[in-house]
Structure 1
Amino acid sequence: MIETIVLDVGETITRDDRYWASWADWLDVPRHTLSALVGAVVAQGRDNADALRLVRPGIDVAAEYHAREAAGCGEQLDESDLYDDVRPALSALREAGVRVIIAGNQTSRAGELLRGLDLQADLIVTSGEWGVAKPQPQFFGRVLEVAQAAPTAVLYVGDHPVNDVFPAKATGLRAAHIRRGPWGHLWADDPDVVAAADWRIDSLTELAAIAGG
């Protein structure tokens, strides 16, 4: 039985459209150009930040991030960034008595913004706040610490096989791969993902039935 469900953030509960559009605007390149490059590096199995390095060779991504913040062009998140199924899914899980945690590879600022959305989650935390990021085992070790359940009773939900499905399974957790965003669609039918994921879903609203089963 699933007692705790842990949700990834980017392309699991939030769309990444605004994130990449804001980077394109900051670097003064067409949004479609950067979007296409993100897709290209994803297909090659590379870090998606490599898309920024392709349009601006030698870029110091961390330094540019701080420059954006200082210029008032930093991260933003609001209701429009959430996928439509997020609030109904969280409500159903709350009614079912499932502990819900949101934990992904985001900055500390993103954590603040997510908590400001008043989501029905027991805990919202980011890699920036923990000081460790997926797919490192230490990240999933922290997930287990806050899950308050045995590993087999914890389900990690995400779109990225390398960051979400595979390391969650390696930690002893259950895993659900969501067909959402470029990563979710690209690897939806990959044999390794099919073999590793305990569940493959198209919507977060499927989670209440999984937890109840």
Structure 2
Amino acid sequence: MTVAAVVFDVGETLLDDTREWNAWADWIGVPRHTFSAVLGAVTAAGRDNAETFRYFRPDFDLATERAHREANGRGEQIEESDLYSDVRPCLNELHRRGLWLGVAGNQTAKAAALLRALDLPVDHIATSAEWGVAKPDPAFFEQVIATAGVEPGRIVYVGDHRDNDVIPAKAAGIRTVLLRRGPWGYLWADNPVARQNADWVIDSLAELPALLGTA
């Protein structure tokens, strides 16, 4: 079945999350390497990223602290420099071929606005906050399918996370690409369950146009 649409996750797929994680470490007042190490341990245990904060502040509430950051002028930022270098060349080539391109991830409504301001060559950008449902909920991928407007077997979802991206997208009938990038991508790229559910595993988005050319 010919691929008609490609939808991309955001963090560690399109965006290097280093700056945002460092901003959180600074905000809660812990050394960046310490925060990173605990995040890695949470990741390896297959738990939600938000649990990282509770090791440092047991009563931490992510939504409240995010609002406090914004109010203090230290809120979320996404700039051109946060994009991985292979993002625009990949998107430009897939756009040139006439594929429908989307971006959909577990992010805030502000992140969606910041991504739109980058003027990426995509047809649609949405986040979990805008849709009111987050990965890995099956309803998120139902929304992906509805937004792309084609049969799920003609959609490819590209992400770095085994449990949030590859497994639920595959269960929805979507074809899947696991990107070996960021802590989750490296952790799970060779995982048997990830391999069972990923149609392809790649090391860079530069590989994607050629790969889809044979799909």
* TM-score bracket relative to the smaller structure: over 0.9
Corresponding position of 2:96:
95
Deviations 1:115-170 (A, max 9, x none): 01111110011001111000001100000001121111000000001000000000
Does structure 2 retain, via aligned residues, the 8 Å contact 1:96–1:208?
A: no
Q: Distance in 2 between matches of 1:17 and 1:135?
A: 23
Cα deviation for residue 28 of structure 1 reads 1.1
Q: Distance in 1 between matches of 2:157 and 2:61?
A: 31
Q: Distance in 1 between matches of 2:128 and 2:196?
A: 27
Cα deviation for residue 88 of structure 1 reads 0.2
Residues 35-114 of structure 1 aligned to structure 2 (within 5 Å) = 35-114=36-115
Q: Gaps spanning 5+ residues in structure 2: where?
A: none
Q: Distance in 2 between matches of 1:18 and 1:60?
A: 20
Residues 134-213 of structure 1 aligned to structure 2 (within 5 Å) = 134-213=135-214
Residues 121-140 of structure 1 aligned to structure 2 (within 5 Å) = 121-140=122-141
User: Alpha carbon RMSD of aligned pairs, Å?
Assistant: 0.8
Paired-residue identity, %: 56
Does structure 2 retain, via aligned residues, the 8 Å contact 1:7–1:156?
A: yes
Does structure 2 retain, via aligned residues, the 8 Å contact 1:10–1:16?
A: yes
* TM-score where L is the length of structure 1: 0.98
Q: Distance in 2 between matches of 1:19 and 1:37?
A: 15
Q: Distance in 1 between matches of 2:155 and 2:210?
A: 15
Runs of 4+ aligned structure 1 residues displaced above 6 Å come to: none
Q: Distance in 2 between matches of 1:8 and 1:60?
A: 24
Cα deviation for residue 196 of structure 1 reads 1.1
Deviations 1:86-127 (A, max 9, x none): 000000101111111000000000000000111111001100
Q: Distance in 1 between matches of 2:8 and 2:79?
A: 18
Partner amino acid, structure 2, of 1:175: T
* TM-score where L is the length of structure 2: 0.97
Q: Distance in 1 between matches of 2:77 and 2:196?
A: 36
Partner amino acid, structure 2, of 1:63: T
Does structure 2 retain, via aligned residues, the 8 Å contact 1:3–1:98?
A: yes
Q: Distance in 2 between matches of 1:120 and 1:96?
A: 12
Report the count of equivalent residues.
213
Does structure 2 retain, via aligned residues, the 8 Å contact 1:3–1:211?
A: no
Q: Distance in 1 between matches of 2:181 and 2:135?
A: 18
Q: Distance in 2 between matches of 1:142 and 1:39?
A: 30
Partner amino acid, structure 1, of 2:101: V
Partner amino acid, structure 1, of 2:68: A
Corresponding position of 2:4:
3
Cα deviation for residue 72 of structure 1 reads 0.8
Q: Gaps spanning 5+ residues in structure 1: where?
A: none
Cα deviation for residue 207 of structure 1 reads 1.7
Cα deviation for residue 8 of structure 1 reads 0.2
Does structure 2 retain, via aligned residues, the 8 Å contact 1:92–1:208?
A: yes
Cα deviation for residue 182 of structure 1 reads 0.3
Q: Secondary structure at the match of 1:135?
A: coil
